Amino acid sequence: MSDDADKPGTEGAPPPAKNKKKLIVIGAAAAAVLLGGGGGAYMMFGGGPAKAEAAAGHGDKAEAADDEAADEGEGEGEGGEGGHGGGEKEAPLDVPPLLVNLRTADGAPHFLKVHVMLVPGAKSSVEKLKDSLPMLLDAYQPFLRELRPEDLSGSAAVFRIKEELLIRSRDTLGDGQVKVILVQDLIQQ
């Protein structure tokens, strides 16, 4: 009888609930890995990051072909330039660093240095953005000067500045001119 007590199916042994819990945890982990891998594959091959990589300057032949097809569909006449036109259109424009005084309650001098890059939108190019850069800087200055040092604390500060600058870009130049604002430096003194 002592041999029967050691077997897992007998009355004296605890039920195999631990094995079921382990199987559920392992199954959930495997499902999470599969979903994560599937999502990553979709992001890599689905076209979403291809646009982001092209904006970051990682252009391969397939992305250049996608950019050419998009240019031809827009009817702007830039699609005939070949792969050079597609890659050039997505290259960001480096904006000179902006240095502004921040608004403070005590009048103490506080400065903000912002260095951004502008990614041209579907209706623009780097050359067009260069030509309209004085208007953009004029639109950015009042917003940056009204910032307070406490507005720049926390992780949401960079996101807020990017969004506000993008809104001002769209108000100044129109929709489709600036696609993304990339913050390179944000220094407060």
State pLDDT tens for residues 83-101: 444 444 468 999 999 999 8
pLDDT at 37 over 90: no
Mean pLDDT of 11-30: 71
**Sheet strands (E) in the chain:** 93-94, 98-101, 111-120, 178-188
pLDDT at 174 over 70: yes
Q: Within 10 Å of residue 121's Cβ, how many Cβ atoms?
A: 21
pTM: 0.52
Is residue 154 very low, low, confident or very high in pLDDT (cuts 50, 70, 90)? Answer: confident
Helix, strand or coil for residue 101? strand
- What is the total count of domains within the chain? 2
- Quick one: 102 and 35 in the same domain? no
Instruction: Determine, yes or no, domain membership for 29.
Output: yes
Is residue 136 very low, low, confident or very high in pLDDT (cuts 50, 70, 90)? Answer: very high
Mean pLDDT of 159-167: 92
- Quick one: 181 and 96 in the same domain? yes
127: containing domain? 92-188
Which of 26-35, 122-131, 157-166, 180-189 comes out lowest in average pLDDT?
A: 26-35
- Quick one: 34 and 96 in the same domain? no
Which of 25-39, 50-64, 164-178 comes out lowest in average pLDDT?
A: 50-64
- The pLDDT score that the predictor gives to residue 96 is 92
